[in-house]
Structure 1
Amino acid sequence: MHLFEFEGKRPTVHPEAFVAPTATLIGDVTIEKGASVWYGAVLRADICRIVVREGANVQDNSVLHGAPDALVEVGPGATVAHSCIVHGAVLEERALLGNGSTMLDDTRLGAGSMVAAGSLVSPGTQIPAGVLAAGAPAQVKKPIEGTAAQFWVEANPPYYAELAQRHRTGITAV
């Protein structure tokens, strides 16, 4: 993993977290117990603060950043899927941001909600708990309960927690 101090602020990674060797953490970044940050992800907290809460996962090639003094937070058990952009946004507990999606400044994804792949959450948008949102701009489509999307919200955190442990012990540079 690539860890960089910036202007006296340095990343903090819990010993039971997994940060891939090609992930980059800069400045005021906190990775909590059981969280994972995957290959190619960049968490740049040079002018903001980034917290990846317990059991959350930030997947491959995602980028997290924010405006000055913003808090970027990936809540407990939340998922930032592959190739996402999270800029000055908050994902609440067990929320899931689908592959290739973007959340912009002052947005919030409610607990247990999902943003479908390829969506854009426009600045200031607040997506409530327990819903599926999709589109550009993302709009609430329906409650997530009883849908196929609910599977991903529930299954992804334990799956990635287990996979992260396998990578912690099983990866070898060749």
Structure 2
Amino acid sequence: MPIYAVGDKVPKIHPTAFIAPTATIVGDVTIHERASVWYGAVVRGDTSYAVIGPGANVQDGAVVHGRADLPALIGEEASIAHNCVIHGATIGRRALIGNGAQVLDGAEVGEGSLIAAGSVVLPEMKIPAGMLAAGAPATVKRAIAGTASEEWITGNPGRYAKLAADHSAGLRELAREEISTP
């Protein structure tokens, strides 16, 4: 897995974190216990620092990057879904950022909130805790409590913890001769 220092900025990764072999970690990045960073994801801490909280997951193809004056902060058990961009933003505990969404400079997503797939949370926007936001630009739509979205948000960290354990225990690269043909 590509893990790089930039000058004196060196990543710190807890031994229980899962980092996929094709994920890239650069610079002043802290990845806490039980966190996972998946295939093709990039977490960069070169211009500012980035923190991936305990049990958080940064899924395939996502980019987490700070700006000189704005770190990228991913809260405990938060989920950053496939192909998201988190740029200099703060994602609260157990928030879920849907596939392809962007959360931009200085924005904050509150605890337990859901940002719908493909949405764009504009710079400096604040999404309150426990809310669904959707659209480009994103607007708050409704509370999540008591909806199917609530189970999705609360269950996702456990699902990704199980996947991380499976990949940690059973992932192996195949030689060409081990690959079957269709």
Scaled by the length of structure 1, what TM-score is found? Answer: 0.98
One-letter code of the match for 1:151? E
Secondary structure of residue in 2 paired with 1:123 = coil
Separation in structure 2 between the aligned mates of residue 168 and residue 72 of structure 1, nearest angstrom: 26
Secondary structure of residue in 2 paired with 1:154 = helix
Residues 49 and 69 in structure 1, CA contact (< 8 A), matched pair in contact too: no
Separation in structure 2 between the aligned mates of residue 154 and residue 161 of structure 1, nearest angstrom: 12
Any stretches of 5+ residues in structure 1 without a counterpart? none
**Shift in Å, 1:10:** 1.0
**Shift in Å, 1:48:** 0.8
Alignment of 1:102-141 (within 5 A): 102-141=102-141
Separation in structure 1 between the aligned mates of residue 15 and residue 67 of structure 2, nearest angstrom: 29
Aligned partner of 1:2 in structure 2 is 2
Which protein has the bigger strand share?
1
Aligned partner of 2:54 in structure 1 is 54
Q: Deviations over 1:79-109 (max 9, x none)?
A: 0000000000011100000000000000011
One-letter code of the match for 1:88? G
Alignment of 1:1-174 (within 5 A): 1-174=1-174
Separation in structure 2 between the aligned mates of residue 123 and residue 96 of structure 1, nearest angstrom: 18
One-letter code of the match for 2:164? A
Residues 98 and 115 in structure 1, CA contact (< 8 A), matched pair in contact too: yes
**Shift in Å, 1:151:** 1.9
**Shift in Å, 1:138:** 0.5
Separation in structure 1 between the aligned mates of residue 99 and residue 14 of structure 2, nearest angstrom: 26
Number of residue equivalences: 174
Aligned partner of 2:177 in structure 1 is none
Say what the alpha-carbon RMSD is for the aligned residues.
0.7
| Structure with greater Cα Rg | 2
Secondary structure of residue in 1 paired with 2:34 = coil
**Shift in Å, 1:69:** 3.5
One-letter code of the match for 2:160? Y
Any stretches of 5+ residues in structure 2 without a counterpart? 175-182
Residues 81 and 100 in structure 1, CA contact (< 8 A), matched pair in contact too: yes
Separation in structure 1 between the aligned mates of residue 143 and residue 155 of structure 2, nearest angstrom: 17
Aligned partner of 2:179 in structure 1 is none
**Shift in Å, 1:71:** 1.5
Separation in structure 2 between the aligned mates of residue 164 and residue 32 of structure 1, nearest angstrom: 14
One-letter code of the match for 1:169? A
Kindly report structure 1 stretches of 4+ aligned residues shifted beyond 6 Å.
Answer: none
Separation in structure 1 between the aligned mates of residue 127 and residue 152 of structure 2, nearest angstrom: 17
